Amino acid sequence: MDILGIDIGGSGIKGAPVNIETGELTAERFRVPTPKPAKPESVAEAVKTLVDHFNWKGPIGCGFPTVVNNGMSVTKSNIHKSWVGTQVDALFSEKTGLPVTVINDADAAGLAEMTYGAGKGKKGLVITVTIGTGLGTGVFYDGKLIPNFELGRVFYKNGEIIEYYAADSARIKNDLSYKAWGKRFNKFLKHTKRILSPDLFILGGGASKKMDLFENELTVDVPIVVAEKRNNAGIIGAAMAAYHWPKK
């Protein structure tokens, strides 16, 4: 069975049909730029463009970059404030004429990794971290998702949100070497361990491709592995959400 998975990001909206049994994309991934500003109506139009590209007629799963409660965006995180209180699934369903299930984007990426990737079969408390503009986190206990853990949004020091200090965007903004930035990211991992005592970290997102440049700075006393699904994780996990928790 194929389901269209869509991953909405800060710079691009990408998607592809996904074989739910294997976790493989069944067509080449397609991407459109995220509108600026990324307000509800313009993003919905971009989603429709992607759906039309595949001439898609079935269910859709969508990973969305905010806390999602029953299809509604309840925080703005790194997106436009006009999304707060928006029923995202209803908006996208109205625009496409198709059933749409919406899930937090980091939860979607984690689902893919725990089902088909580095987290498959892993027990205990596992935290997936998507390192990019922010620090997206998925939290799983014995393979089951505990949704909407926004660990990148916790306060660190002097009222600063930790992802502003330790995400890959902070490395770029402050022109840090991977070694210097790795020390910052290690503080995030240590802070997370102090709060939750995980059994495993799975690192994904763009920066995970450069793991060899900062892995020596990661001294947190928790096993760490690199994600396997990389840039397709959000698409795969979004499709999984539509399969397991379809919108009625």
CATH numbers and ranges of domains, the chain: 2-104+234-244 (3.30.420.40), 118-227 (3.30.420.40)
Better-scored residue on pLDDT, 206 or 172: 172
Instruction: Please give the mean pLDDT across all residues of the chain.
Output: 95
Is the Cβ–Cβ distance between 227 and 118 less than 8 Å? yes
CA distances from 62 to 23, 65, 163, 241 (A): 15, 10, 23, 8
Flag whether pLDDT at 231 surpasses 90. Answer: no
The pLDDT, as a whole number, for residue 133 is 84
Residue reference for tokens 């409660």? 69
Flag whether pLDDT at 80 surpasses 70. Answer: yes
First to last CA, the chain: 18
Flag whether pLDDT at 78 surpasses 70. Answer: no
Across residues 92-99, what is the average pLDDT? Answer: 98
CA distances from 134 to 46, 60, 123, 247 (A): 22, 25, 26, 28
Per-residue pLDDT band for 203 (boundaries 50, 70, 90) equals very high
107-162 pLDDT per residue, tens: 999 999 999 999 999 999 999 999 988 899 999 999 999 999 999 999 988 889 99
Across residues 198-227, what is the average pLDDT? Answer: 95
Contacts of 245 (CB under 8 A, 6+ apart): 101, 103
Flag whether pLDDT at 56 surpasses 90. Answer: yes
The pLDDT, as a whole number, for residue 248 is 60
Across residues 1-21, what is the average pLDDT? Answer: 94
163-179 pLDDT per residue, tens: 999 999 999 999 999 99
Per-residue pLDDT band for 102 (boundaries 50, 70, 90) equals very high
Per-residue pLDDT band for 105 (boundaries 50, 70, 90) equals very high
